[in-house]
Structure 1
Amino acid sequence: MQQATPLRVALMTAVFGLCSAPALAGDASSAMQEDRIARVESGLSTPVVIRGAGGGKMDLRARMAFHKVPAVSIALIENGRVEWARAYGVVNADGETPRTATVDTLFQAASVSKPVSALGAMQLVQQGTLSLDAPANDQLNAWKIPDNALTRATQPTLRMLLNHSAGTTVHGYFGYPQGQALPSLLQMLDGTPPADSDPVRVDVRPGTLWRYSGGGFSVVQLMVTEASGQSFGQYMQRAVLGPLGMTHSTFDVDLSPPQRALAATGFSTEGQPVAGGWRRYPESAAAGLWTTPTDLAQVVLEVQRAADGAPGKVLTHDSAQQMVTRGLGEYGLGLYVEDLGGRTSFAHSGGTNGFRAQIYGYTHSGQGVAILTNSDNGAALISEILASISAEYDWPEFKVTEKVAIAGDAANNQQIAGTYRLMDTPVVISAEGERLYLQSDLFGAARMELHAQSATAFFTTDQDMVLNVTRNAESKVTGVSLDRGANVYHAARR
């Protein structure tokens, strides 16, 4: 998408009036439902607002334009079913015949592929074909996790791989441009050409540390393909996508012509289309799913049903319970998990080149959502949509918080500015006079403004997060910590 020219704004405004799909049939209270949808569309908010700064609720279409997100698609779950699904915007680049987003538009799900892949692995566990707790290498044939002193002390297991606690490397994958040669799964695991990723190895003792690892899910991919005797895409179609009725979804790396006609083009932070429309991800289990929100909602519903004791189409009650029970970190098996007392929330987000995705669900309440966007800026928009949904449907999370900000101090900001490292990822803090900004790929490509609470504490409105500055005895800034809920993450200055 180009920068906002008058023609482009006019085109998007015209398209927005046509792109909303009707609410799902069979609802006797359609007028009330339409009112609720309208309130969601007009009720967006950043997670944090500044007291006295004005603002208030915002319109979805306006926020799409603000964040340069060409299209977003949403499926809302209420009372254990998809209550409504809507799509907004356009899904291709300037200069092409405009294609309106519909509820059937395909988006890359990115790391939301992981919980779907976990369902496939858990079904093989249910059948006794794979074991969660036997050594992973005992269940691998063509390739094995290279042995070292760490693996000899504790052998990685499928449970650890699904929990990101196996000590495996490779945080995520970059994808391959259209027309570029694709590596085999074994080449990806060993990081040999034409793979563009590092080899998957164990460099932390398994079972001792939670560390996100797309590489670990590539090991899961090999375990699943060898145990099932099928390609990963074939197995997932037979074992998960088909039974759940995910008729628009595929793990195939290359889309068929009909699928390509439904696929959204991905867009960069600056609003430029990804070359070729999108990149290809042969790291299927970690990042390869193409889908729609209505299809992804079936995954949320399956976990809810099975975890609550109702018959699942793919999962047993025990499997679902294990998936939504925390191991190390804030993670179960393929899902981020939060115990809220009367219910458990489970979720996953994801990002590939040009796409951002999110699923969220609750046990015991039949509530949840799936949201897909075709922009690197999509995470910020998704956060604002979640705040609106939470307010309308009375969710226990994503409540908007009001905070007080004080005037910034240019000299203090200059002392804090610099590069830090958090979870092996750079965190760049930059100063512009009295304003201070933070950027890290951990939170997205766009930078976030830091608002001062004191000389050493700052908050963002984009996320409910506080940054605290650490100084040594000479008052030199040595690091920062990020407080998110009950968790504190420390970042040292580089």
Structure 2
Amino acid sequence: MKHLLSLIVWLINWMPAGAQSTSYSRDVNEKIRQVEQRLASGIRLPADKDWTIQERMQYYDVPGISIAVVNNYQIEWAKAYGWADADQRRPLTTQTRFQAGRINQAVHGTGVMVQVQNKKIDLFADINTYLTSWKFPYDSVAKGKRINLMQLLTHRAGLVPVLFSGYPVGVPLPTVVQILEGRKPASTPAIRSVSEPGVRTKYSGGGLMISQQLLMDVTGQTYDPYMSENVFKPLGMINSSYILASGKDDDLASGHDFTGQVIEGHYKIYPEQAATGLWTTPSDLARYMIEMQLAYGGKSGQVLTPETARLQLMPYEGSSNAVGLNTFPDAQPPLFTDSYGPSTAGFNVSFVESLTQGYGAVILMNSVNGFIADEILNSIARVYQWPNFYKPTVRQTVVVPESVLEAYVGNYQEDNLIYTITRENNRLFEHVKGSSRAELFPKSPTQFFFRSFDAEVEFVRDASGKVVKRTMVYNGQKSEAKRIN
């Protein structure tokens, strides 16, 4: 009986999301079925067949995925797969909240643009004009230039490149000012200039935290209530917040590592709300997506006017970055915006849309391994016939003896990154601590390629035949990691 009940729970979990309360048309159900069965890599092998979503979740050790698909400016369907927590065998639903990580930068940018629209903030004024609880301490590094809010939001302010790693549940959390000053209990350095502003694009979560403090100083409100009142409620984002208001873990997905194990404490807490603190669902992010699409096209203005929305969504000052967003390098109509990748500890996010044609998708995963997202997007793009999205490349592989593969196993260091190469029989894998594990496919006995992203790796030997380094070519750039053991 116990096994039968477990099977029933599992089958229910794989039913179309909201099947107990939502009825989709026959056409939509058929599209869902096709999406689930047509996962594909951008780099294909000659004998490849399409995969099912269940097969790839098992391959990547991803316990749970939640998806919302937008078509013709509407959420056409939403569905959740797998477990919210693999240890507890707690089923994932479309109402389960995930940590959204860096996609929150776009949502935060909209919250800021509300005040720009209300003429309370000038994007191009010195940030210290508006900061009252804290002032940015300019020094000689800035070369006499002043930082403005647009530079903060597009990562062109020349600030220390801070990434936030989160805090265990239950420990004291820093205030925003403590984060900006690098004072305990903050675990990150003070936010200061490392180059003059406006010269180059360099990600800095610290810059976003300055913009959060500026927004709170201008409005006189704490961050979560402000965003709820000005962004979430107008758009019907009922499952989005920066604080765990319910206090119930059943509402929240647990993060998992690349082997599918629940991370310690189930998740981390991010007091850096503007940078990476949002808890939400794919459907809520899809509602945000749709409103920005409509506003961009001049068809709505629930939060931002079309003029303000276009200002947020256009790349700024020679950068590929818009306010809170990253854009594809070849972004042109239909303009796709994209923000995805390792989100927070144990989570991943993918957010892709066409601003001009009203379609897109949001994929949230409670796993550090996010490679499956691209394969799901490829399937969605094929089923919904997104133009110019899925353009696979077919590559050949060769057979390499296991003894040769074994010679490559070890650790390779490039700056502060350590790449770990492991072998499972005749398969080689690469893993960077805290990120996904990716399989390497041989094109020759020394050269390999990834299928999850378009990059090539080569193992180099010295005159004695010892493997001494690993090189990688990615986006036309070559990097080198020396073997350390």
What is the root-mean-square deviation in Å for CA atoms of aligned residues? 3.2
**What displacement does 1:168 show?**
1.6
**What displacement does 1:324 show?**
2.8
Aligned residue for 1:215?
Answer: 206
Distance of aligned partners of 1:145 and 1:482 in 2 relative to their CA distance in 1, 3 Å threshold? farther
Pairing partner for 2:174 from 173, 180, 183:
183
Aligned residue for 1:22?
Answer: 19
Q: Deviations over 1:323-357 (max 9, x none)?
A: 33223543211111124433211121251122111
Q: Secondary structure at the match of 1:156?
A: coil
Correspondences of 1:7-86 after superposition (within 5 Å)? 13-18=10-15, 20-22=17-19, 30-51=25-46, 54-86=47-79
CA contact (8 A) 1:19 1:102 kept: no
Q: Given the alignment of the two structures, is residue 342 of structure 1 paired with residue 333 of structure 2, yes or no? A: yes
Distance of aligned partners of 1:317 and 1:480 in 2 relative to their CA distance in 1, 3 Å threshold? farther
Aligned residue for 1:304?
Answer: 293
- Show structure 1 runs of 5+ residues with no match: 1-5
What is the one-letter code of the residue matched to 2:71? E
Q: Given the alignment of the two structures, is residue 264 of structure 1 paired with residue 253 of structure 2, yes or no? A: yes
Distance of aligned partners of 1:24 and 1:286 in 2 relative to their CA distance in 1, 3 Å threshold? farther
Q: Give the Cα–Cα distance (whole angstroms) in 2 for the partners of residues 471 and 333 of structure 1.
A: 45
Q: Deviations over 1:181-238 (max 9, x none)?
A: 1111111111111112222222122222212221111111111111111001011001
What is the one-letter code of the residue matched to 2:304? L
What is the one-letter code of the residue matched to 1:313? Q
Q: Give the Cα–Cα distance (whole angstroms) in 2 for the partners of residues 429 and 264 of structure 1.
A: 28
Q: Give the Cα–Cα distance (whole angstroms) in 2 for the partners of residues 474 and 260 of structure 1.
A: 56
Pairing partner for 1:372 from 339, 364, 379:
364
Distance of aligned partners of 1:425 and 1:84 in 2 relative to their CA distance in 1, 3 Å threshold? farther
**What displacement does 1:131 show?**
1.7
What is the one-letter code of the residue matched to 1:75? A
Q: Deviations over 1:228-270 (max 9, x none)?
A: 1100101100111111110111122x3323x543212222223
Correspondences of 1:342-421 after superposition (within 5 Å)? 342-349=333-340, 350-377=342-369, 379-395=370-386, 396-408=388-400, 419-421=412-414
Query: Which is worse superposed, 112-121 or 446-455?
Result: 446-455
Distance of aligned partners of 1:156 and 1:479 in 2 relative to their CA distance in 1, 3 Å threshold? farther
Q: Give the Cα–Cα distance (whole angstroms) in 1 for the partners of residues 260 and 431 of structure 2.
A: 18
Q: Give the Cα–Cα distance (whole angstroms) in 1 for the partners of residues 480 and 456 of structure 2.
A: 16
Aligned residue for 1:279?
Answer: 268
Q: Deviations over 1:135-158 (max 9, x none)?
A: 222221222233222223432221
Q: Secondary structure at the match of 2:292?
A: helix
CA contact (8 A) 1:183 1:193 kept: yes
**What displacement does 1:107 show?**
1.0
**What displacement does 1:460 show?**
0.6
What is the TM-score of this pair, normalised by structure 2?
Answer: 0.87
Pairing partner for 1:319 from 308, 311, 315:
308
Q: Deviations over 1:474-494 (max 9, x none)?
A: 9998874533xxx43443445
Aligned residue for 1:3?
Answer: none
Q: Give the Cα–Cα distance (whole angstroms) in 1 for the partners of residues 92 and 140 of structure 2.
A: 52
**What displacement does 1:458 show?**
3.6
Q: Give the Cα–Cα distance (whole angstroms) in 2 for the partners of residues 337 and 77 of structure 1.
A: 19
Aligned residue for 2:436?
Answer: 446
Q: Given the alignment of the two structures, is residue 167 of structure 1 paired with residue 167 of structure 2, yes or no? A: no
Q: Give the Cα–Cα distance (whole angstroms) in 1 for the partners of residues 472 and 229 of structure 2.
A: 45
**What displacement does 1:407 show?**
4.2
Aligned residue for 1:235?
Answer: 226
Q: Give the Cα–Cα distance (whole angstroms) in 2 for the partners of residues 43 and 426 of structure 1.
A: 35
Distance of aligned partners of 1:179 and 1:313 in 2 relative to their CA distance in 1, 3 Å threshold? same
CA contact (8 A) 2:99 2:280 kept: yes
CA contact (8 A) 1:112 1:348 kept: yes
Aligned residue for 2:479?
Answer: 491
Q: Secondary structure at the match of 2:91?
A: coil
- Show structure 2 runs of 5+ residues with no match: none
Distance of aligned partners of 1:239 and 1:375 in 2 relative to their CA distance in 1, 3 Å threshold? same
Q: Give the Cα–Cα distance (whole angstroms) in 1 for the partners of residues 444 and 273 of structure 2.
A: 46
Q: Secondary structure at the match of 2:322?
A: coil
Correspondences of 1:412-491 after superposition (within 5 Å)? 419-421=412-414, 426=417, 428=419, 430=421, 437-440=429-432, 445-453=435-443, 458-467=448-457, 480-483=471-474, 487-491=475-479
What is the one-letter code of the residue matched to 2:306? H
Distance of aligned partners of 1:434 and 1:261 in 2 relative to their CA distance in 1, 3 Å threshold? closer
Query: Which is worse superposed, 180-189 or 12-21?
Result: 12-21
Q: Give the Cα–Cα distance (whole angstroms) in 1 for the partners of residues 416 and 156 of structure 2.
A: 18
Q: Secondary structure at the match of 2:435?
A: strand
Q: Give the Cα–Cα distance (whole angstroms) in 1 for the partners of residues 251 and 404 of structure 2.
A: 52
Query: Which is worse superposed, 237-246 or 136-145?
Result: 136-145
Distance of aligned partners of 1:477 and 1:161 in 2 relative to their CA distance in 1, 3 Å threshold? farther
CA contact (8 A) 1:19 1:89 kept: no
What is the one-letter code of the residue matched to 2:391? K
Q: Give the Cα–Cα distance (whole angstroms) in 2 for the partners of residues 330 and 467 of structure 1.
A: 27
Q: Give the Cα–Cα distance (whole angstroms) in 2 for the partners of residues 19 and 196 of structure 1.
A: 42
**What displacement does 1:40 show?**
0.4
Q: Secondary structure at the match of 1:445?
A: coil
